[in-house]
Amino acid sequence: MNRSKILTYLTRALPIIVVVFLFSCRANREVTTRVLRGEIKYLSSDPLLGRLTGSPGDSLAALFIKNKLASYGLTPLAGDGFQRFKVPEKALVGKENVLSVNGTTYTSEKDFMPMEFSSNSSLESEALFVGYGFNINADSLKWDDYKGIDPKGKWVIMLRADPEPDNTRSSFSQFSGDRDKALIAKDMGAAGVLMVSGPSFDQKDAFESLNAIGFSVDIPVLRIKREVADVILAKSEKNIATLEKTLNEGRKPVSFSTKVKVNGKAEIVREYASTRNVAMILPGEDEKLKNEFIILGAHFDHLGMGGPGSSSRAVDTIGIHHGADDNASGVAMMLELAKKFSKTSGSHKRSIICIAFTGEEEGLLGSKHFTDEPGIDLSKVNAMINLDMVGRLNETNNLQISGVGTATGLKDLIYSKSDTSVIKLTLSNEGYGPSDHSSFYGKNIPVLFYFTGAHLDYHTPSDTYDKINYKGMVRISDLIFPVARELASSASRLQFKESGPKAETGRVSSRKGVTLGIMPDFAGVVKNGLRADFVTPGKPAALGGMKKGDIITAIENKPVNNIQDYMFRMGQLKRGQTISVEVLRGDQKVVLLIQL
C-alpha cells in the first residue's frame, strides 16, 4: 500500500479507533451484571461454606476481596491490608469438671456438664432446692423461691424453664432463662447453681452443646441429669418429677434444704479463631483533601452451616447458608464502585477507604474493631456508606436508604443525584441500625445505609446467587456513585448531626420496654462493665448525667459485667422508677441517679 493510501486509511479509521478505545475504557470502569454475578457466585459458593467468621471460608473471602481491590489499584490502608483480631469460636467442656454426692463420683458429659455461662471454679457445700429459682415481684406476678431460706455460700438446685412449658405466651417466660436464674441466685448470695430439667419440660433430659459466646455469671453452674438430682433429693423423700408436678399445679414456691453436701467444679475451655477485616485505600487526587476520607463498607461474613445459635431462620436445617444477598451483594457492589472510582479521573479528591468487615452477624465485631482501632483519624472521615443486602431490588423498585439525617444536606444530596423515576426511594433519618454503619455513627460520623429489603430467603440456605437481581444492582450502583463522588470531592465537609435514637433496640431492648437511652457496646470490647457508645439527649441516661464512653459497672448496686448482665438488670426495672447506676468515667467512679 502506497503512502497516500495509508494516510487516507488512517484518516478514515482514526475516529473509529478513538471511539472504540474510549468505549472500551468506559466499559472497563462501569459496573456490569457479568462481573457482579461472578463475584457473588464465588463468595456464595459451596467451597466457602457460608463464610462463618473465623472459618477457612471467611479467610478465602477476605483474600478474594483484597486481591480484587489491589487489582483495581487500591493499596493496603496499613500493613498487608488485613486487620486481624480474634473471635470466640468454641466452648468445650474442660477436663477438670467434677461432681460428687455422698461419696459417689459422677461422669462429666454423661451425668453432668457445665453451663456456658459458668465460671471456672469449684464449691463444696450443702445444696438447697429452690424450685424454679424465681424472685419475681411484678405487678401481675409474684413468686419468691428464696423466701425463708439462706442460700449464702451454698449450692442451689433449681428446675429449668417455668410452670407453663407449653405456653408460648406465658407470663413466666421472661423470667425463665437459665442465665437469668443463675444471676438471680448469685444476687441472692448462692455460691453455685445446679440446674435440672423436669420431665414436662424435657422428657429426654438431653444436654445441649455449649455456645461459644457465653458471658460468665462468676459462680459455677452445672447442668445435672434428673437421676443425679434425685440422689441429692433422696434424704428429703422427694424427686424431680413430683416436685415439678407440685410446682406446676400448685403455682407456689417449694424450697427446702436437701441436707446433702455436694462437691462440684466447673471448667470450660474457650477457643478463639483468628479472623480479619480487609482495609484498602485509593489515594485522593487533591493534595490537600487526600488527607480526608470517605469509607465504602460491606460485611462479607455469614452464618456458615447454620444450626442452633447461628440466627438461621431454618432452625432445623444444617446446610450451607450461602449468603448471596447477605452480604455477597454488598461486597460485590463495593468492589465495583472501587473499580469505577479508580478508573474515573477527577472522581475523588478525598481518599476512598474500602473496608470489608467480618463478624457482622455475630454483633458488628469487625466494624467495632475497626472503629476502636482505626489506624486513621476518624475525625477526618467525611462519611461512611454501608452496603448490606442490596441484591434483591424487586418489582416495586424500592430502595431503602437510612442515615440521611446524620448530616445537614444529605437528604437533598440523595434526591439531587437520584432519578426517582427509575428507582423509588424510602429514606430514613436514623443513623443507628442493625448493620456496620452503626459503629461509625457511634463515632459521630455521617452514615448512609443502602438496603433493598428482607425476603423469605434471608438467613436460610436458599439465599443463593441465582436469585440476585443483577440489573437492579447496576441501577443501584449508578445511583450510589454520584452521591459518593460528591462526598469524595466537595470542597465542604459534612457536619455530623445526631439523628434518631442512639438507643438500645432489637436484640438488646428491655423485655419490659424500660430503657436508659443508650446504645451499648455490642462487641464486649470493655471487660467487667458495659460501655455506653451513645447517650441520647433527652433520654433517662442523659438526664441523669451519663456521658458517652461511660462504663456501666452496676445497676441498683448489682454488678453489670457485660451486655447480658445489662439486659437482665434492665428487665427487672419499672417505668418511672429512680435507680442508681455506677459508671467508670476515665479513672473515676461516678454514681448516677436516673429516673426511667
Q: For 273-302, how does the pLDDT look when each residue is reduced to its tens digit (9 = 90+)? A: 999 999 999 999 999 999 999 999 999 999
User: 37: Cβ–Cβ under 8 A, 6 or more apart, which residues?
Assistant: 465, 468, 470
99 and 43 share one domain: no
pLDDT tens figures, 418-456: 988 889 999 999 998 889 999 999 999 999 999 999 888
CA distance 281 to 288: 16
Is residue 499 in a domain?
A: no
Distance set, CA 124 to CA 121, 149, 154, 189, 260 (Å): 11, 18, 8, 15, 11
Percent of the chain past pLDDT 90, that is, above it, reads 78
Average pLDDT over residues 476-500: 95
413 and 276 share one domain: yes
Residue carrying C-alpha cell 453455685: 192
Show the domain range for 399: 31-83+272-489
> What's 319's DSSP letter?
S
Average pLDDT over all residues of the chain: 91
Q: What band does 474 get if pLDDT is binned at 50, 70 and 90?
A: very high
The more confident residue out of 510 and 133 is 133
Is residue 496 in a domain?
A: no
CA distance 17 to 106: 84
* End-of-domain residue from the set 266, 294, 327: 266
- What the block records as the C-alpha cell of 355 is 473496608
Is residue 410 in a domain?
A: yes
Percent of the chain past pLDDT 70, that is, above it, reads 93
Burial 229-264 (b: 16+ CB within 10 A, else e): bbbbbeeeebebeebbeebbeeeebebeebebebeb
The per-residue pLDDT for 524 is 73
CB neighbourhood size of 129 (10 A): 26
The per-residue pLDDT for 7 is 52
185 and 131 share one domain: yes
250 and 309 share one domain: no
Contact 300, 156 (CB under 8 A): no
* End-of-domain residue from the set 211, 246, 266: 266
CATH number, domain at 399?
3.40.630.10
pLDDT tens figures, 66-113: 999 999 999 999 999 999 999 998 999 999 999 999 989 999 999 999
69 and 112 share one domain: no
285 and 359 share one domain: yes
286 and 387 share one domain: yes
146 and 252 share one domain: yes
Average pLDDT over residues 113-126: 97
Is residue 497 in a domain?
A: no
Cα 448–chain centre separation:
19
Is residue 90 in a domain?
A: no
Is residue 396 in a domain?
A: yes
CATH number, domain at 589?
2.30.42.10
The per-residue pLDDT for 172 is 93
Is residue 89 in a domain?
A: no
Average pLDDT over residues 193-215: 93
The per-residue pLDDT for 16 is 47
* End-of-domain residue from the set 266, 288, 322: 266
Q: What band does 507 get if pLDDT is binned at 50, 70 and 90?
A: very low
Considering its fold, how many domains does the chain have in total? 4
533 and 473 share one domain: no
The amino acid at residue 236 is S
CATH number, domain at 249?
3.50.30.30
409 and 531 share one domain: no
Nearest residue to 178 (alpha-carbon basis) of 204, 143, 208? 208
Contact 188, 74 (CB under 8 A): no
The amino acid at residue 285 is E
pLDDT tens figures, 533-542: 888 888 899 9
The per-residue pLDDT for 8 is 57
Instruction: Find the largest Cα–Cα distance for the chain.
Output: 116
pLDDT tens figures, 262-276: 999 999 999 999 999
356 and 419 share one domain: yes
End-to-end CA distance of the chain: 92
Residue 481 pLDDT > 90: yes
325 and 382 share one domain: yes
